Amino acid sequence: MTDNYAVFGNPIAHSKSPDIHRLFSEQTQQTMSYTKQLVELDEFEKTVTEFASQGGCGLNITVPFKLEAFDFADELTSRAQNAGAVNTLLFKDNKVIGDNTDGFGLVYDITENLGWSFSGKKVLILGAGGAVRGILQPILEQHPNSVCVANRTASKAVELAEHFSKFGSITGCGFSEIEDSPFDIIINGTSASISGDLPPLPEKVADNTTHAYDLMYGKEPTVFMKWAASKNCTAIADGLGMLVCQAAESFYLWRGVRPETKPVITYLRTALNS
């Protein structure tokens, strides 16, 4: 019997998740199907309940339903609780378990695939929205020397820093208050790469020792990646690897098997550029 999984979102046509999970299942010889489904904005709970009642085994949840999935779950993992959002649902023993694999995906891509290290490093994170909230606990658990969250509205960054201070050394500030000296790792979690509007950053915030990572990805380098290149950053990456690695963690939660991510990232990168 085939186990059924899906990704729910609105919009959903652009989702790469079915391709990713097809490649994972082929690689690990899992008998499963994975589809994408457009969910009407006021029908999330109804659609999830129907999917589960028809024998569905698990779901990925994308925009705009991650907060609804958080509220819908019977049980939450600690990383889902701290992220305040759910991107993975597991139906088990008549319960709905909610998890958030985004931060794990980012850290795995950076440390395992790219070979960068957070340990003892000075880290700057731009933005204080849901995407950033989802990555802070896993980053702090890598024992960086310090993490600074900078945001246009400084109070949001300060609030996040206070919430996550139990996991490590973290501060929040406005863009104008960022220390004007090089950071080891800068992560862009703002929507600058969609709007093309990069936050105002101090002149000396990056140099040829800095590693730069954008949560966004696309066919062309993002505006943040171009800025990092202009600063001669030693390594620059986009978020395609994070997308694949967060999916791999969902796959592991559902199937108990951890797929290889590098060949899938290569496949998607080739498809993106063709």
- Which long-range CB contacts under 8 A does 120-123 form with residues at least 24 apart? 120/144, 120/145, 121/145, 121/184, 121/185, 122/146, 122/148, 122/183, 122/184, 122/185, 123/147, 123/148, 123/183, 123/184, 123/185, 123/186, 123/187
**Domain check: are 222 and 133 in the same one?**
yes
Q: Note if 219 is an active site residue.
A: no
Q: Residue 160 CB: number of other CB atoms within 10 A?
A: 21
| Cβ atoms of residues 218 and 23 within 8 Å | no
| pLDDT beyond 90 at 1 | no
Whether residues 186 and 202 share a domain: the answer is yes
Can you tell me the distance from the alpha carbon of 65 to that of 34, in angstroms, rounded to the nearest whole number? Answer: 18
Q: Summarize the confidence of residues 103-112 as an average pLDDT.
A: 98
What is the reported pLDDT for 153?
A: 96
* HSE toward the beta carbon, residue 246, CA cutoff 13 A: 25
pLDDT digits (tens, 9 = 90+) for 122-133: 999 999 998 899
Q: Clarify whether residues 136 and 225 are in a common domain.
A: yes
Q: Which domain holds residue 29?
A: 3-100+241-273
CATH number at residue 207: 3.40.50.720
Which residue, 177, 182, 184, is CA-closest to 199?
A: 177
Mean pLDDT (the chain) is 96
Confirm if 2 and 32 have CB atoms less than 8 A apart: yes
In a shared domain, residues 109 and 212: yes
Q: Which of 159, 273, 263 is nearest to 221 (CA)?
A: 273
Top-confidence residue, 273 or 6: 6
pLDDT in tens, 136-153: 999 999 999 999 999 999
Model pLDDT, residue 195: 80
pLDDT tens digit string along 214-250? 999 999 999 999 999 999 999 999 999 999 999 999 9
Do 64 and 113 share a structural domain? no
Residue 61: give its domain's CATH number: 3.40.50.10860
Catalytic residue of the set 16, 36, 46, 66: 66
Predicted local confidence at residue 48, as pLDDT: 98
Do 73 and 136 sit in the same domain of this protein?
no
Do 137 and 217 fall into the same domain? yes
Claim to verify: residue 9 and residue 114 sit in the same structural domain:
no
Confidence at 179, pLDDT banded by 50, 70, 90: very high
Is 142 in the same domain as 66?
A: no
Counting the structural domains of the chain, the total is: 2
